[in-house]
Structures are given as structure tokens and as C-alpha cells.
Structure 1
Amino acid sequence: MNIAAEFINVNKRFPNATYHALDDVNLQIYEGELITILGTSGCGKTTLLKMVNRIYEPDSGEIQLFGSNIMDRDPVILRRGIGYVIQQIGLFPHMTVYNNMATVPRILGWEKQKIDERINELFMLVNLDANEFKHRYPAQLSGGQQQRIGLARALAADPALMLFDEPFGAIDAINREKLQDELLKIHRASRKTFLFVTHDVTEAFKLGTRVLIMDKGRIKQFDRPEKILERPADDFVAALVRSAEKGFAVLEGGGL
């Protein structure tokens, strides 16, 4: 398997912090994985994600994407090749859904026919009708629809790597579960590498091909969900596993 992303002895400490945001982090992520990054607030999960597209930069260590050091690349060009979805969505309110989705392909100089074809593909991928939605504005969409369009926009230029920073955190439970299911379908169809930050234990174990559990800037465990459930690395992970098992019991019982 080819390595999509690698952290090599990466450290990051913010001014006045009592501990490192990332503390000698080493990990490898393979192409096509959906990695969920889990932990309590302040554990370093969002810092790790934002280092991949150079929003934050390491104090020491090295981050490689597809075999090359990200510090050797212009950050603007680097980011154009990475999809990024956040909780706030960030759709341009003055632009139609079509124009929101076409933003990055236009920056990259795509021809109109290619953009149109790609946007039609994306509407199908996120399970929305192109004729119904492409001329609407963000304010005319529900929260779940906006999140789908935000996901489609991030996928528009066909990036090899997608970053998700708690994208479903503001969505109600029923729509959140639907969006999780859609994301799994999109991941299987796209075969891209997804990194997905969440503080929701059930979400992390449902979505992740592997789950990266962090605490105070350190990796506590990084493995397949079933392996973590079977053998938690320490008491911190065991506590998360117990809360995950409660969440799965609710899902299986139809509580959502």
C-alpha cells in the first residue's frame, strides 16, 4: 500500500501552552483510508489536521504527502490540491450553489464543459438533484443540504486528500446519521484518502477504517475500530471505548 501522509517526529507547541499540541507524533496513513481522529478538546486533533495543509507549521519534524515534504511546496498550491470541509461550511452566500462548487476548478483553469460535467457528477455523488439545487443560494438550503454542497465543493477539483474538521458537529442527530452514511458511500466511490476530526466517539468508530486516538498532543492508540474495542491501549482509551459501546447500543436499538 502506498503512503498518502506521514508524520515524522512532529512537534508543535503554541505560546503560553502548558503542554505540546503535538508531542513527537509519528504516523503513516495509506492511500484510500478513512482515518478518524478522536479526542477531547485540546488534545491536538485539529492541530494535526491543520498541519497537513500548512495552516499550522511544525516546530520540528517532517510531514510528507505522497512522498514529498510539504514544506517544499507553495502553501497556496498545496491547499488547492487538498479538499477541506469544516463545521461552518463556508459557502459563499452571494454565489449560487453551482458557482460555489465551480470555484476551485475555475481557479485551476478548467474549461466550462469539464466543470459542468464534474458538477453534475458531484450532485449525484452527494445525492442532490442538480436541476433543483444548482441555481439556489446557500440561504435557501437546509443545514444538511449546505453540508452536502460544502462536501461537493471540496471534492470538485478531484483532490487526492480530503480533510474534515468536525463537519457534522452542528447538524441534528437524524441528519448527522444520514450524512455519515453518505460520507461512507462517497469514500467508497471516490477511493480518496479522508482524514476526519471528531469528538464524537460513536461517529469515529462508525466511519474510520482506522481510528487515531489522541490526548495532550500524543497518540494513545491508532488501529482498526474492532481492534481498539477488543484491546484498548490504556485507561484513557478504555473510557472512550465504554462510551462508544453505549452509543452503538443506542444506534442498534433505534434510539436515533
Structure 2
Amino acid sequence: MSVAIEFKNVSKHFKGATHRAVDNLSLTIEHGEFITILGSSGCGKTTLLKMINRLYDPEEGSIEFFSEDIKNTDPVEFRRKIGYVIQQVGLFPHMTIAGNIATVPKILKWTKEKINARVDELLTLVGLEPSEFRNRYPSQLSGGQQQRVGLARALAVNPDVMLLDEPFGAIDAINRIKLQDELLKIYNASKKTYLFVTHDINEAFKLGSRVLIMDNGKIQQFDTPRNIAASPANDFVKSLIDSAKGQEVFWKE
């Protein structure tokens, strides 16, 4: 496998903050991995994600995208190579579902026929019947359906890297599990690189081929779910695992 993303001694500090959001972070992500990024609010996980698509630039260090230093890229052009999904979805309310999914293909001047075929393909992929949903508007969809459309839009131009920032955080438990399963199917079919931010340890361990655990801008452990569960690197990681086990006690009883 080739290296998709590499952080080299990257730091980011926001004005007025007591500590760095990302503190001298180095890591390598192989192309085709599904990386989940786990940590509590303010640990730096979203900052890390936003630096990959240049919403933030680091003060120190460098980030390479398939061996190219991203600071040498045009940010707008660069972002079109990356799929980006957020919790709030961010669909355009005045556009139909088809129009939302077609946003970047239209910018790239795809033909109408190619766009229509891709919209139908993606709606089917995320479990929404094209004939039923392509001409609806976001306000006519449930939260879970809107999240599926957001995922379809991010996949529109078949990006090599997908960034997902707590995309299921506002979804109810039943639909959240369904969306996790759909996402795994899509990932397994594509074998692209996925980075998925969450504060839910069960979600992180279910989805990730490797899990990146962060606290105070630093990596606490970066390994497979099985290895982390078997050998927590420190007390912080152990406390996360213990909290997940504690939540299961009721059901065992």
C-alpha cells in the first residue's frame, strides 16, 4: 500500500487557548485504511481533520497527501480531491437532493448524462431510491436520510480520501447503527482512505481498521482495536476502555 497522508511534527495553536490543539503530532496513514479518531471534546481530533483539507494550516511541521506537501497546493482545487462529511450535513436547502449531490460534478463540468447517472448510482448506494428522492428537498427528509445524502455528495467525484467529522452524532441509536453498517459496506466496496472522527468508543472500535486515540492534542495510542483493547498504552486509554465495559454491565445482568 502507498502512503495516503503523513503528518510530520505538526502543531496547531489557537489564540487564547491554554494548550496546542495539535501538539507535535506525527503519524502515517496507508491508502485504503479506515482510521477512526477518538477523543473527548477539545482533544484536537476535528482540528487534525480540518488541517488535512486545509481549513486550518499548521504553524509547525508539514502534512503530505500522497507524498505532496499540501501547503504547495491551491486550497480550493485541493479540497475537490477530498470528500468531507460533517454532523450538520450542510445540504443546500434551495436545491433538490439531485442538485446537492451534483454540486462538485457541475463545477468540474461533467456532462448532464454523466451527472444524472452518478446521482442515481450514489442514491442507490446509500439506500435511497432515486425515483423517490432525487427531486425532493432537504427539508422533506429525516435527519438520517439527510446524512445519507451528505455522504452521497461527498462521494460524488470518487475521492481517494474521505473525511467524516462526527457524521452520525445527531442521529438516533437505531439509525446510527444502520448508517455505520452502510458506511462499512461503501468503504469495503471502494477501498479508499477514510478518516472518521467520533467521541463514541464503540463506534470507533466497530468502524476503524486502526483507532487513533487523542487527548490534549497528543496521540495516546494508534493501533488496531484488538491491540488497544488487549494492551492499553496508558491510564487514559485504559479509562476509555473501562468506561465502555462499564456501559455493558447492565445488559449482562
Shared fold by TM > 0.5?
Answer: yes
| Residue aligning to 1:190 | 190
| Residue aligning to 2:28 | 28
C-alpha separation in 2, matches of 1:128 and 1:166? 21
Moved more, 118-127 or 38-47: 118-127
Please list, as runs of the form range in 1=range in 2, the aligned pairs for 1:10-89 lying within 5 A after superposition: 10-89=10-89
| Residue aligning to 1:140 | 140
C-alpha separation in 2, matches of 1:136 and 1:17? 43
CA displacement at 1:245 relative to structure 2: 3.1
Secondary structure (helix, strand or coil) at the match of 1:131 reads helix
Moved more, 66-75 or 116-125: 116-125
Percent identity of equivalent pairs: 63
Question: Is the contact between residue 202 and residue 248 of structure 1 (CA under 8 Å) also seen in structure 2?
Answer: no
| Residue aligning to 2:120 | 120
CA displacement at 1:244 relative to structure 2: 2.7
CA displacement at 1:247 relative to structure 2: 5.0
Q: How many residues matched?
A: 252
In structure 2, list runs of 5 or more residues that go unmatched.
Answer: none
Cα deviations across residues 64-106 of structure 1 (Å, max 9, x unaligned)?
Answer: 0111000010000011111100000000001100000001000
| Residue aligning to 1:221 | 221
| Residue aligning to 2:156 | 156
Secondary structure (helix, strand or coil) at the match of 2:109 reads coil
CA displacement at 1:243 relative to structure 2: 2.2
C-alpha separation in 1, matches of 2:26 and 2:125? 34
CA RMSD of the aligned region, Å?
A: 1.3
C-alpha separation in 2, matches of 1:24 and 1:115? 42
Please list, as runs of the form range in 1=range in 2, the aligned pairs for 1:91-110 lying within 5 A after superposition: 91-110=91-110
Query: Structure 1-normalised TM-score?
Result: 0.96
Cα deviations across residues 200-252 of structure 1 (Å, max 9, x unaligned)?
Answer: 111111110100000000000000000000000000000111223345677xx
- Paired residue type of 1:195: L
Question: Is the contact between residue 5 and residue 30 of structure 1 (CA under 8 Å) also seen in structure 2?
Answer: yes
Question: Is the contact between residue 4 and residue 66 of structure 1 (CA under 8 Å) also seen in structure 2?
Answer: yes
C-alpha separation in 1, matches of 2:69 and 2:131? 42
In structure 1, list runs of 5 or more residues that go unmatched.
Answer: none
1:245 is aligned to 2:245: yes
Question: Is the contact between residue 205 and residue 244 of structure 1 (CA under 8 Å) also seen in structure 2?
Answer: no
C-alpha separation in 2, matches of 1:103 and 1:2? 30
Query: Structure 2-normalised TM-score?
Result: 0.97
Classify 1:142/1:224 alpha carbon distance in 2 versus 1 (closer, same or farther; 3 Å).
Answer: same
Question: Is the contact between residue 202 and residue 247 of structure 1 (CA under 8 Å) also seen in structure 2?
Answer: no
1:211 is aligned to 2:201: no
C-alpha separation in 2, matches of 1:69 and 1:131? 43
- Paired residue type of 1:182: E
Cα deviations across residues 138-162 of structure 1 (Å, max 9, x unaligned)?
Answer: 0110110000000000000111111
| Residue aligning to 2:202 | 202
CA displacement at 1:112 relative to structure 2: 1.1
